[in-house]
Structure 1
Amino acid sequence: MQQTLSDQGTIDTLLDVSGLEVDFSTPDGTVKAVKGIDLTVKRGETVAIVGESGSGKSQTMMALMGLLAGNGQVRGSAKYRGRQLIGLPAKELNKIRGDKITMIFQEPMTSLDPLYRVGRQVAEPIVHHRGGSYKEARKKVVELFKLVGIPHPERRVDAYPHEMSGGQRQRVMIAMALANDPDLLIADEPTTALDVTVQAQILSLLAELRQRLGMSIVFISHDLNIVRRFADRVYVMRRGEVVETGTTQEVFDNPRHDYTRMLLAAEPSGHKDPPRPDAPVLLEGRNIRVTYHLSGSLFGGHKAMDLKAVDDVSLRLQQGQTIGIVGESGSGKSTLGRALLRMNSAQGNVRFDGRDISRASVLEMRPLRRALQLVFQDPYGSLSPRMSVGSIITEGLRVHEPGLSAAERDRRAVQALTEVGLDPMARNRYPHEFSGGQRQRIAIARAMILKPKVVVLDEPTSALDRSVQKQIVELLRELQATHGLSYLFISHDLSVVRALSDYVVVMKEGRIVEEGATAQIFDAPREAYTQTLMAAALGQERVGATGAA
């Protein structure tokens, strides 16, 4: 029988979602997370789903994978190759999940079992779906680790998740998703934790695999620069609904919906004025070295070795200055920041506010901690889920100003929350009740309530939507101008670094390879490594799209 055009369209459609609804039952009533959306993915196609946090992007895919939380309900249709996934028994669904349809999750640390070596975890789906022994699967795991760019793959298969950087853990998750050559790969913010060069490598890798295997990709992201370079078609979601869809070029060049236009305009922008030339130096590190001893593997035949995480680095931070520290995952950025705060063992000389603190004891450092604050990358992981926001914010006051009354602590909490743009009533709620951007504001308030002089910001915007990133950058600039703060801003997001920093340090393999004023580093980088970083971050070429090289 001759196929009609309609028949051919059905054959080419790998995933067909129709009227999908997702509800969650909560103590406050039913929350409608997804409100009857339609979505299709064709063979070999990359479809992006974009929108702010809470728009329903991830829940749409979790629903068709059967991975909703226990209080979630799903209605509607989601067909894979014509087979209905909604309501499919778990035993049948498990034959598809991890084999034909796989998913890369946003936060690898919560997706990887901390008690098992990463190689064993990647081998699990191979053994489950393909059979064979773990010893045989191990060989493929090493090949996959090479494929996704994990250094020393023969050694790293024996590592535990906590022994790897955030970028390396994300690459482990990507290797796991690719283990069985899936038909459909769902990538939920897969490059959030990765530096720009690794982002480019991973996107190129996914594009290459898509072409070689005929694999389709659903790409969930808040990074519109990546979406523009990577996707064939785009669905824009807001509050559980699709508000716009079309080819990537159509949506980006001629957006029809006001919400889409807002997303496209949300890139962090502007710049900060440099500090006064005669501004005093608040924090200085000279010849900083941090070395980690890696033990050998009893069964893997690997010898013990020393890893120079920071190798002879010197840095001076003036009052009112922001130094951006950039470089690939594992370059030593975060380790340097913690060494300057005396939060890890290091060699070299550290001076704060004219005082040598290189050999200060824990007891001697304690009164200085209020002036040297740290804001972490993951606000959810750094905020205790069992404490109210008010208790979290005022915890430092209990340590550094124990004589304050409860009423005065509460007054200071109200002031801190107001300063970071949150409703003071939020102090009576708990972290899980807030969005990612709101939790990051809470983390900033916790640092600012102590009136610090230096704040180390370790990837504070990497997991946030672009519109929220812009708000946080503006907030940090306002707080700095108001209080004369000095920032060390550690990030792989160069657009945010450019908007917030007036001086940039570029690190590679524990050393500084280039440094200078922000404009000079971005507009006229001298070193090849810096040029590669800038090209990866700012390049506009499309990656793996239809017709692309």
Structure 2
Amino acid sequence: MEKPAEPILSVKDLHVRFRTLDGEVHAVKGINLHVNAGETVAIVGESGSGKSQTMMAAMKLLASNGEATGSVDYRGRNLLALTKSELNAVRGRKITMIFQEPMTSLDPLYTIGNQLMEPIRRHRRLSAAEARKEALRLLELVKIPDPERRMRSYPYEMSGGQRQRVMIAMALANNPDILIADEPTTALDVTVQAQILELLAELQRTLGMAIVFITHDLGIVRRFADRVYVMRYGEIVEEGSTEALFSAPKEAYTKMLLAAEPTGRKAPPPDTAPILLDGRNVEVVFRIGGGLLAGPPLLLRAVDCISLALRKGQTIGIVGESGSGKSTLGRALLRLLPSEGAIRFDTHDISKADREQMRPLRREMQLVFQDPFGSLSPRMTIGQVITEGLLVHEPGLSAKERDRRAVEALNEVGLDPAMRNRYAHEFSGGQRQRIAIARAMILKPKVVVLDEPTSALDRSVQKQIVDLLRKLQADHELSYLFISHDLAVVRAMADYIIVMKQGKIVEEGPTEEIFDNPREVYTQTLMAAAIDVTRFRVA
């Protein structure tokens, strides 16, 4: 594709600073970058490198304690100098952004259809009927099944991957010049990830839009980007064409990023290890819609007669496409959702346990959520977030002892304890995920359900978190249910695999057997898609 000489977006001497209780944080330090019409530019780097804050500053979407200086020129206009009304004519229409956490970007009180139609009607002045038709087309475009029904759905009724696809549809609603994609495939399983990336590439060719790709997945970068900027500690340490940067990286930091990959294999526990969590014929059925005039409700069988037994020290990996029921199964086993069937935890039958009966067991059964930002209170410091569970389960601890435990937990997950007086919005997505892990581990649980715990992390930090989780497991004989779409991480973490599709188990067995010799066509498809998406990754 012919590239114009003049860039469509030009960032010059951009600085981003945040005022915090610990003083000023200089998150972005005088960087320069540009984007040409129709090209894909990737910004990569570890969590906290400033890559997301760079584009948030460009869109004037920084938190209230943030400030950006420098210039961000879009077609000759400095976005940082525009008034709110002038900026709104550009933002959401000419430049759109897909955010990293879709659940926090979608309004829980409005249907998917209403939220899709709003930007279409606002910027394109279409009638309600025309906007609805366009919204349906967009849902079909991003492969949302049964789009007519999903127009009436609320965000909580959709899986993480489906919510991310809705966000992509909203971003494409007004045919933008520039699409800023901040980890757009983070919540997607490998098969849908490949589809979405191909879709973005096709739309780019059709519409001629530029894409700014913020990601930690270097396999995706090598496959789709024209040029790459590598960031570290708020600065650009290396830049160049994708081919040149991957074939001959100059900086040691870039070489480290290219080589990072979770490694090692998890040995299974002995057959004599006691069973800590046992589910038999577990079912979860959601009733959707219905009423006096609407007729009988639609029954969605999200988990369909599943049995599993998790032993002490074992990690069971649960894989499958978005909407397969992985997360629902994990929550049902923890009695966070109503279910049918028998569930035992340790020596307790919790099949019908209510909230009060479960309360004393909660510290031993922890959950790390898929969306760390949505699960962290914006009004509490990180130290308060991490120690909140101690107030409930160890009320006799002094404030000094709770603070000491917070310091220990933050050290364990690789975060500076000095940052415990900051708030969630001051951390990157990867840092927030580590905070969520610290919050779970501080209670010394026996069983932890990890729902996409590494999905928001760059590869180098994924490797660290995998090593950390394995060390914690070995030190404390923890048992994990590890829910993920990232098969490379699952292979490094799990000793047993369950493959789910449409609420059912289609295949299960020891990890090496499932990866090396999958029997079912669906499992073979998942493995092939993972190889396709990651085939450019440098090992």
What TM-score, normalized to structure 2? 0.91
Determine if contact 1:16/1:39 at 8 Å carries over to the other structure: yes
Residue 394 of structure 1: how far off its partner (Å): 4.2
Match of 1:216 among 187, 194, 210: 210
Match of 2:302 among 309, 312, 315: 309
Match of 1:477 among 470, 481, 500: 470
What CA distance in whole angstroms lies between the structure 1 residues aligned with 2:241 and 2:70? 25
1:204 aligns with 2:198: yes
Q: State the match for 2:26 in structure 1.
A: 32
Match of 1:262 among 256, 259, 263: 256
Letter of the aligned partner of 1:374 in structure 2? L
1:295 aligns with 2:289: yes
SS at match of 1:306: strand
What CA distance in whole angstroms lies between the structure 1 residues aligned with 2:15 and 2:287? 51
Deviates more, 1:314-323 or 1:278-287: 278-287
Determine if contact 1:228/1:542 at 8 Å carries over to the other structure: no
What CA distance in whole angstroms lies between the structure 2 residues aligned with 1:179 and 1:537? 29
Rate the CA distance shift 1:10–1:151 in 2: closer, same or farther, 3 A: closer
Residue 524 of structure 1: how far off its partner (Å): 2.0
Residue 33 of structure 1: how far off its partner (Å): 3.0
Match of 1:380 among 373, 377, 395: 373
1:173 aligns with 2:167: yes
SS at match of 2:219: helix
1:131 aligns with 2:125: yes
Letter of the aligned partner of 1:509 in structure 2? Q
Residues 484-495 of structure 1 aligned to structure 2 (within 5 Å):
484-495=477-488
What CA distance in whole angstroms lies between the structure 2 residues aligned with 1:396 and 1:75? 40
Letter of the aligned partner of 1:216 in structure 2? A
Q: Deviations over 1:170-215 (max 9, x none)?
A: 1111111111222221111111121211111110100111112222
Rate the CA distance shift 1:46–1:502 in 2: closer, same or farther, 3 A: same
Determine if contact 1:473/1:499 at 8 Å carries over to the other structure: yes
Determine if contact 1:267/1:466 at 8 Å carries over to the other structure: yes
Letter of the aligned partner of 2:276 in structure 1? L
Residue 321 of structure 1: how far off its partner (Å): 0.6
Letter of the aligned partner of 1:446 in structure 2? R
Residue 143 of structure 1: how far off its partner (Å): 0.7
Residue 444 of structure 1: how far off its partner (Å): 3.0
What CA distance in whole angstroms lies between the structure 1 residues aligned with 2:3 and 2:506? 53
Residue 68 of structure 1: how far off its partner (Å): 3.3
Give aligned pairs, total.
535
Residues 383-398 of structure 1 aligned to structure 2 (within 5 Å):
383-398=376-391
Match of 2:350 among 357, 362, 385: 357
Deviates more, 1:317-326 or 1:387-396: 387-396
What CA distance in whole angstroms lies between the structure 1 residues aligned with 2:84 and 2:402? 51
Rate the CA distance shift 1:517–1:17 in 2: closer, same or farther, 3 A: same
Match of 2:337 among 326, 334, 344: 344
1:232 aligns with 2:226: yes
Letter of the aligned partner of 1:308 in structure 2? R
Residues 237-252 of structure 1 aligned to structure 2 (within 5 Å):
237-252=231-246
Q: State the match for 1:4 in structure 2.
A: none
SS at match of 1:191: coil
Residue 378 of structure 1: how far off its partner (Å): 2.9
Q: Deviations over 1:338-385 (max 9, x none)?
A: 111122111111122244322334333333223222222233332334
Q: Deviations over 1:224-275 (max 9, x none)?
A: 1211222121111122222111121211221111111121122211122111
Match of 2:278 among 265, 276, 284: 284
Rate the CA distance shift 1:29–1:504 in 2: closer, same or farther, 3 A: same
Q: Deviations over 1:511-542 (max 9, x none)?
A: 01111111122222222211222222222578
Q: Deviations over 1:402-460 (max 9, x none)?
A: 45566665555555455445556666665555554444444333333333221111111
Unaligned runs of 5+ in 2: none
Residue 97 of structure 1: how far off its partner (Å): 2.4
Q: State the match for 1:531 in structure 2.
A: 524
Letter of the aligned partner of 1:38 in structure 2? N
Residues 115-126 of structure 1 aligned to structure 2 (within 5 Å):
115-126=109-120
1:62 aligns with 2:56: yes
SS at match of 1:91: helix
Q: State the match for 2:506 in structure 1.
A: 513
Unaligned runs of 5+ in 1: 1-7, 544-549
Deviates more, 1:58-67 or 1:510-519: 58-67
Letter of the aligned partner of 2:515 in structure 1? F
SS at match of 1:325: strand
Q: State the match for 2:180 in structure 1.
A: 186
Residue 11 of structure 1: how far off its partner (Å): 5.0
Letter of the aligned partner of 1:229 in structure 2? R
Determine if contact 1:230/1:542 at 8 Å carries over to the other structure: no
SS at match of 2:8: strand
Rate the CA distance shift 1:55–1:361 in 2: closer, same or farther, 3 A: closer
Residues 70-149 of structure 1 aligned to structure 2 (within 5 Å):
70-149=64-143
What CA distance in whole angstroms lies between the structure 2 residues aligned with 1:52 and 1:490? 23
What CA distance in whole angstroms lies between the structure 1 residues aligned with 2:78 and 2:363? 57
What CA distance in whole angstroms lies between the structure 2 residues aligned with 1:140 and 1:252? 40
SS at match of 1:284: strand
Residue 27 of structure 1: how far off its partner (Å): 5.7
What TM-score, normalized to structure 1? 0.89
Letter of the aligned partner of 2:62 in structure 1? L
Determine if contact 2:161/2:187 at 8 Å carries over to the other structure: yes
Rate the CA distance shift 1:286–1:264 in 2: closer, same or farther, 3 A: same
Determine if contact 1:103/1:186 at 8 Å carries over to the other structure: yes
What CA distance in whole angstroms lies between the structure 2 residues aligned with 1:28 and 1:412? 20
Q: Deviations over 1:102-127 (max 9, x none)?
A: 21111122222223222222222222
Residue 135 of structure 1: how far off its partner (Å): 2.1
RMSD: 2.8
Deviates more, 1:469-478 or 1:442-451: 442-451
Q: State the match for 1:18 in structure 2.
A: 12
Rate the CA distance shift 1:541–1:130 in 2: closer, same or farther, 3 A: same
Residues 360-509 of structure 1 aligned to structure 2 (within 5 Å):
360-402=353-395, 412-413=405-406, 415-422=408-415, 431-432=424-425, 434-509=427-502
Deviates more, 1:353-362 or 1:49-58: 353-362
Residue 389 of structure 1: how far off its partner (Å): 4.6
Rate the CA distance shift 1:257–1:303 in 2: closer, same or farther, 3 A: farther
Determine if contact 2:101/2:371 at 8 Å carries over to the other structure: no
SS at match of 1:256: coil
SS at match of 2:191: helix
Rate the CA distance shift 1:66–1:283 in 2: closer, same or farther, 3 A: closer
